[in-house]
Amino acid sequence: MLKTEALKAEIRRLCKEKDAIILAHYYTIGDIQDIADFVGDSLALARKAAETDAKIMVMCGVHFMAETCKLLSPDKMVLCPDLEAGCSLADSCKAEDLKKFKEEHPGYQVISYVNTTAAVKALTDVVVTSGNAKKVVDQLPKDAKLIFGPDYNLGNYINEVTGREMLLWNGGCHVHERFSVEKIIELKKQYPEAVVMAHLECKAPVLAAADVKGSTATMLNYAQQSDKKQFIVATEAGILHEMQRTCPDKEFIPVPPEISESGLECSCNECQYMKMNTLEKVYNCLMNENPQIEIDPEIAKEAVKPIERMLELS
């Protein structure tokens, strides 16, 4: 087995040889972020990749992110280091359940968070991200009947800031659901000067306790531009790698989960799906050009439409 640095060098060599790029989500391990061509959130990565001439893209994130990449670059080879890297939020909305819900609510438009499968996007009128959801919803007719899914917390926040009464799907991300106000209060006592930042997938009381609420990109930009020195961060702890890299003179404190997966106390909140991406798997998938992402052409045709609509509205 190659040592870490040798493995990183081999991956970069393979990228050059095969005209491939590595896309790394902010929540992947630092070693993967370090060798990536682009680091970002899921939609930004898919859009960046679509702008390049690379023949192969390796999406280091979770399965729906690789699908989004393929939707925006249908003629490219999209590799996914581990097809089992799923997402509790995407899993909380199955296409067949959404189809039934739509049938029960005729006349409603469906707004879906980008954290959904291609099959769910194919049943959607407009896709949103946590960064543009408010802007997109604000542009829809005031009397439009809207279903928002699958993230309940994000939908609830958007209802609050837009004054809408969208019907909310009761889904959520198990990582962001684990944050609690109590842990934030404890950290605030230790770091009274720190700015509290929380992702919009967190529960309403956590968002109410935050000074800055938004997407990963919002939090990152805020940290980079702020003259504050300490930040308490309530999102998946992988983002701290990019925060620390771009703000070396600042301190970032991850909020621990209320209860960890193992039931033991731990200092940060991690997504086990994101952490399924390893250097070895990146190397193997590039070497073997497998596993590749394929999407049923009929589903892909419908799934790309609500993404294009989002891009028009945002």
Using CB under 6 A, list all residues that contact ligand SF4. 27, 62, 87-89, 115, 173-175, 236, 271, 273-274
- Please state whether 13 falls in left (phi above 0), alpha (psi between -120 and 50) or beta: alpha
Q: In the bound complex, what is the minimum distance in angstroms from residue 272's beta carbon to ligand SF4?
A: 8
Question: Which residue lies nearer to ligand SF4 by CB, 87 or 184?
Answer: 87
Using the 8-state DSSP alphabet, how is residue 85 labeled?
-
Torsion angle defined by CA atoms of residues 120, 125, 130 and 134, in that order, rounded to the nearest 10 degrees? -160
- What stretch of H or E contains 38? strand 38-40
Question: Which residue lies nearer to ligand SF4 by CB, 179 or 273?
Answer: 273
Q: In the bound complex, what is the minimum distance in angstroms from residue 253's beta carbon to ligand SF4?
A: 19
Other beta carbons within 10 angstroms of residue 263's beta carbon come to 6
Q: What is d(CA 185, CA 308) in angstroms, rounded to the nearest whole number?
A: 41
Q: In the bound complex, what is the minimum distance in angstroms from residue 22's beta carbon to ligand SF4?
A: 18
Question: Which residue lies nearer to ligand SF4 by CB, 15 or 45?
Answer: 45
Q: Please, what sign has the CA dihedral across residues 25, 80, 310, 149?
A: negative
Question: Which residue lies nearer to ligand SF4 by CB, 63 or 70?
Answer: 63
Question: Which residue lies nearer to ligand SF4 by CB, 238 or 291?
Answer: 238
Three-state secondary structure readout of 243-310: HHHHCCCCEEEECCCCCCCCCCCCCCCCCCCHHHCCHHHHHHHHHHCCCECCCCHHHHHHHHHHHHHH
Q: In the bound complex, what is the minimum distance in angstroms from residue 151's beta carbon to ligand SF4?
A: 8
Q: In the bound complex, what is the minimum distance in angstroms from residue 301's beta carbon to ligand SF4?
A: 25
Q: In the bound complex, what is the minimum distance in angstroms from residue 179's beta carbon to ligand SF4?
A: 12
Question: Which residue lies nearer to ligand SF4 by CB, 24 or 89?
Answer: 89
81 Cβ contact partners less than 8 Å away, ≥ 6 residues apart? 58, 60, 276, 277, 278, 281, 282, 284, 285
233 Cβ contact partners less than 8 Å away, ≥ 6 residues apart? 197, 219, 239, 240, 243, 252, 253, 254, 255
Q: In the bound complex, what is the minimum distance in angstroms from residue 69's beta carbon to ligand SF4?
A: 14
Place of tokens 């609509």: 309
User: What is the residue type of 251?
Assistant: E
Q: What is d(CA 179, CA 86) in angstroms, rounded to the nearest whole number?
A: 20
Question: Which residue lies nearer to ligand SF4 by CB, 124 or 269?
Answer: 269
List the structure tokens of 38: 């682009």
Q: In the bound complex, what is the minimum distance in angstroms from residue 1's beta carbon to ligand SF4?
A: 27
Question: Which residue lies nearer to ligand SF4 by CB, 7 or 92?
Answer: 92
Q: In the bound complex, what is the minimum distance in angstroms from residue 166's beta carbon to ligand SF4?
A: 20
Name which of 117, 113, 4 is nearest 62 in CA terms: 117
